[in-house]
């Protein structure tokens, strides 16, 4: 799925990449990409507005807000974060097969923190698509390092800009599932709409005279629970900590990629 033509190539020119990993991904992903479902003229207009506004009204993406609760061994992460990109742009960051080059962490010895090994479309139904992903998450512990393999089933809905995911197979995890949704933020409404809160993009375009930027709010819920005996302290503490920290880091990397695009 690709919202922006050439998006992956543009990203690769601006963010450190792994050519071999991208080559392997291209060989394994044999599914045809969907046609864009967004308003191309609107996207161009938003792009111009964001670039022009960076000098006068620069945007800052605050770090993800994460609330963690645990009940009967099941850990729940509720996450909220913002992007200075349109919802379609953020959807692309989250779902594009070309986004593997975004997840490089210099603390991981130059290795990608998250790598996509393969991707297969299982089902298509209009804007909905079910995809099987095989990913690998990098880890370091003392002088050891390696990758945890993860097999995920992801159900995405391009119309609603939502997704649900669950593990098919994941080392140490009995439960690993979650969902996210992307909603528009009319960031210039207070300045341009005379304190009138718009309820739709068309209303926002009208009250702002077509000069209002659209940003995005992402809300996520993620649940995980280790298998026995990894669900017992102190091992469970380590798994809980690394899962939360890795999730936060990946989201910050996506925010950084969004900032590169915006600027």
Report the pLDDT averaged over residues 31-56. 73
Give the pLDDT score at 174. Answer: 95
Q: For the chain, give percent helix, strand, coil, nearest 5.
A: 35, 35, 30
Instruction: Supply the CATH number for residue 159's domain.
Output: 3.30.530.20
pLDDT of residue 142: 58
* Residue 193 backbone phi and psi in degrees, to 5: -105, 15
Flag whether 159 is in a domain.
yes
Asked, for residue 2, whether it belongs to a domain, the answer is: no
Task: Indicate the number of domains in the chain.
Answer: 1
DSSP 160: T
- The answer to whether the bond into 20 is cis (omega within 30° of 0) is no
pLDDT band at 12; cut points 50, 70, 90:
very low
pLDDT higher at 114 or 1: 114
The residue segments making up the domain with residue 83 are 7-262
Most confident of the ranges 91-100, 116-125, 173-182, 206-215: 173-182
Asked, for residue 146, whether it belongs to a domain, the answer is yes
Reported as a single tens digit per residue, the pLDDT across 222-242 is 999 999 999 999 989 989 998
> Which H or E run includes 82?
strand 74-83
26 vs 187: CA distance, rounded Å: 37
Any domain includes 35: yes
pLDDT of residue 63: 94
67, part of any domain: yes
Structural domain contains residue 239? yes
| Residue 1 domain flag | no
- Quick check: 5 pLDDT over 50? no
């Amino acid at each position: 799925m690709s919202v922006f033509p050439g998006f992956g190539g543009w990203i690769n020119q601006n963010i450190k990449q792994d050519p071999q990993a991208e080559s392997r991904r291209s060989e394994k992903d044999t599914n045809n990409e969907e046609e864009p479902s967004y308003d191309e003229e609107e996207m161009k207009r938003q792009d111009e507005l964001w670039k022009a506004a960076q000098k006068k009204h620069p945007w800052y993406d605050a770090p993800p807000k994460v609330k963690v609760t645990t009940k009967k061994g099941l850990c729940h992460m509720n996450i909220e974060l913002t992007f200075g990109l349109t919802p379609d742009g953020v959807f692309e960051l989250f779902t594009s097969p070309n986004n593997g080059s975004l997840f490089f962490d210099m603390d991981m010895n130059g290795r990608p923190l998250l790598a996509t090994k393969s991707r297969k479309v299982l089902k298509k139904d209009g804007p909905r698509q079910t995809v099987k992903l095989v990913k690998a998450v990098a880890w370091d512990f003392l002088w050891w390092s390696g990758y945890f393999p993860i097999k995920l089933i992801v159900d995405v809905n391009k119309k609603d800009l939502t997704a649900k995911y669950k593990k098919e197979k994941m080392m140490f995890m009995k439960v690993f599932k979650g969902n996210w949704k992307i909603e528009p933020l009319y960031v210039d409404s207070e300045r341009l709409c005379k304190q009138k809160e718009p309820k739709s993009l068309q209303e926002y375009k009208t009250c702002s005279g077509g000069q209002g930027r659209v940003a995005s709010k992402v809300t996520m819920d993620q649940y995980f629970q280790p298998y026995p005996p990894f669900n017992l302290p102190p091992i469970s503490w380590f798994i809980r900590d690394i899962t939360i920290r890795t999730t936060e880091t990946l989201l910050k990397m996506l925010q950084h990629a969004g900032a590169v695009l915006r600027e």
